[in-house]
Amino acid sequence: MEEKLNLLNKSIAEIASLTGIQALLDWDQQVNMPPGGVEDRSNQAALIGELIHHRSTSPELGQLIEDLAKEIGDLDAEDDSARIVRQAKRNYDMLTKIPVEKMVEFIRLTTQAHEVWFKARQTDDFKLYQPVLQRIIELKKEQAELFKPYDHIYDPLLDMFEPGMKTAEVQEIFATLRKEQVALLKEISQAAQVDNSFIKKNYKKDLQEKFAKHVISKFGYDWQRGRLDLAPHPFTTEFGHGDVRITTRYLENDGLSALFSTMHEAGHAMYEQGLDPKYYRTSLAGGTSLAFHESQSRMWENLVGRSKEFWSFFYPSFQMLFPEHLEEVPFERFYKGINRVAPSLIRVEADEATYNLHIMLRMEIEIGLVEGSIQSKDLPEIWNAKMQEYLGITPPNDTLGVLQDVHWSGGLYGYFSTYALGNLISVQLWEKMLSDMPNMPDDMAKGEFSGILGWLRTNVHQFGSKYRPQELIQKITGSKISPEPYMRYLNQKYRQIYNI
């Protein structure tokens, strides 16, 4: 078995080299590549993609995994080898279950759908988009059916991003969350609004960068194993655990957007930097799930980066860098301003108190679409009704409504919920961390974050994807994913900010 396991690890390590190369091709394209490079770069990316697919789905690999699975028996055992094989089997099954010709059809359709979606959004024409969207939904249903048996047809779609998670579980979590978050938002909306006009100005880019680098250095982002660059959209990428890079972009009319997005990406990156080296280049490299990944980015961005303690330490330096905007803004006003809550039409602009509502709306629609209780032709109407119900606003058109996100045109169903689950997990971890280290807020107020990073390394980062998300959160906190801690957090924070 030892020998077979070595063979498996060798195969997976080679695939990891190829995916690292693929990530570099993409990063360079977004960060450095001159326009003339496009044609050769797509050839290169296609070739590497082919090599990865070929190796990841080879019958030899399948046989090896099959043999090992038999020899090991209990793939859920705590043992590393069992988990390595379990994860390899999961990845292999996921890639091979869908027949190649169906996969090709799917890729062709989503490529086309992306263009149609883009045009529909530009011309505010949902009807243009609807037929291709409908076809994608049908293909997704076909894909889901290949993973029978399941409790709900949405389960396999969810499972692609959140291993082991069930539709019923998420629905139950979201039912409580939605009710309580809508209620809180209503109260906030009736309270006196806080001012954040001092943020919506032009802050010098080089000073923004200096400050953001300073902050994530304090967090513990390891510059020996990463770098920060400019790209049209912020993202994290890795070419190996020794080289986990992040990007950001600076807005002309917002002095903090880049900072928060840099903290967010640093949160993702530190998760990858924190993996136990024994898992490098194995099937257990990479985080537990998308939601767990998001819990890390949101924790550093929100629980740390938008906290009173954080800014009690950093505000004097930030004020010093930007006296023209902040000289006359006292700390309390600043702190409230960066935590301003306002229902918005656009998900990516949403704040902590409204973000999950955008997510839940999308997940309800997705479930409806695949189980057939919602028809794609009715989407604009349903979207707008839910927006009014949850956020109290109605999009004036579909471009600012149902057409805003790229995800569905790319065939990403089951993905959105991970954003909200990530928020919930972040606070569950936070509460446990606070009970383990009651000094943590004081440390933050001293600009000291090594306790937090150390705790995350020990409890989350080191394990990679050894555990499933529900398994890991249970192991750490004793509970499964739950909305209560998040609601406690929102209530405590925002009732103070809005005096309610």
Among 2, 35, 73, 78, binds a copy of itself (CB under 8 A): 35
Reduced to 3 states (helix: H, G, I; strand: E, B; else coil), residue 405 is coil
Evaluate whether 188 touches 354 at the Cβ level (below 8 Å). no
How crowded is residue 437: how many other Cβ atoms within 10 Å of its Cβ?
A: 15
Residue number, 40 or 115, with CB nearest to a copy of itself:
40
Q: Rounded to the nearest 5°, which phi and psi values hold at 201?
A: -135, 175
Q: Rounded to the nearest 5°, which phi and psi values hold at 398?
A: -75, -25
CA distances from 323 to 97, 314, 315 (A): 59, 14, 11
Nearest to 420 by CA among 185, 170, 243: 170
Among 124, 180, 222, 378, binds a copy of itself (CB under 8 A): 222
- Segment contacting a copy of itself by CB under 8 A, of 209-217, 237-245, 326-334, 484-492: 237-245
| 278 binds a copy of itself per the rule CB under 8 A | no
Among 1, 38, 168, 406, binds a copy of itself (CB under 8 A): 38
Nearest to 144 by CA among 325, 349, 457, 369: 369
Cβ of residue 20: shortest distance to a copy of itself, in angstroms?
Answer: 6
Reduced to 3 states (helix: H, G, I; strand: E, B; else coil), residue 356 is helix
Among 2, 34, 232, 438, binds a copy of itself (CB under 8 A): 34
Q: What is the x/- site pattern for a copy of itself, positions 157-176, by CB under 8 A?
A: --------------------
| 98 binds a copy of itself per the rule CB under 8 A | no
Residue number, 43 or 122, with CB nearest to a copy of itself:
43
Residue number, 9 or 459, with CB nearest to a copy of itself:
9
CA distance 418 to 384: 22
Residue number, 8 or 184, with CB nearest to a copy of itself:
8
| Count, residues near a copy of itself per rule CB under 8 A | 36
Instruction: Kindly name the residue from 162, 169, 265, 294 that is annotated as catalytic.
Output: 265
Residue number, 243 or 398, with CB nearest to a copy of itself:
243
CA distances from 70 to 67, 138, 233, 360 (A): 5, 35, 44, 40
Residue number, 240 or 368, with CB nearest to a copy of itself:
240
Reduced to 3 states (helix: H, G, I; strand: E, B; else coil), residue 275 is coil
H/E run at residue 494: helix 484-497
CA end-to-end distance (rounded Å), the chain: 63
| 404 binds a copy of itself per the rule CB under 8 A | no
Evaluate whether 251 touches 295 at the Cβ level (below 8 Å). no
- Phi-psi sector, 174: left (phi>0), alpha (psi -120 to 50), beta: alpha
Evaluate whether 27 touches 243 at the Cβ level (below 8 Å). no
Tracing tokens 């999961």 back to the chain, one arrives at: 90
Cβ of residue 95: shortest distance to a copy of itself, in angstroms?
Answer: 20
- Segment contacting a copy of itself by CB under 8 A, of 71-79, 239-247, 290-298, 438-446: 239-247
Among 6, 43, 63, 193, binds a copy of itself (CB under 8 A): 43
Burial of 62 (0-12, 13-18, 19+ CB in 10 A): middle
| 224 binds a copy of itself per the rule CB under 8 A | yes
Active-site annotation holds for 294: no
- Segment contacting a copy of itself by CB under 8 A, of 37-45, 109-117, 322-330, 485-493: 37-45
| 47 binds a copy of itself per the rule CB under 8 A | yes
| 217 binds a copy of itself per the rule CB under 8 A | no
CA distance 5 to 7: 5
CA distances from 219 to 147, 212, 236, 301 (A): 41, 11, 16, 11
Evaluate whether 425 touches 473 at the Cβ level (below 8 Å). yes
Residue number, 13 or 182, with CB nearest to a copy of itself:
13
Residue number, 221 or 318, with CB nearest to a copy of itself:
221
Residues 2-31 that bind a copy of itself (CB under 8 A): 13-14, 17-18, 20-21, 24-25, 28
- Give the interface with a copy of itself as residue ranges (CB under 8 A): 13-14, 17-18, 20-21, 24-25, 28, 32-41, 43-44, 47-48, 51, 222-227, 239-243, 281
Residues marked as catalytic:
265
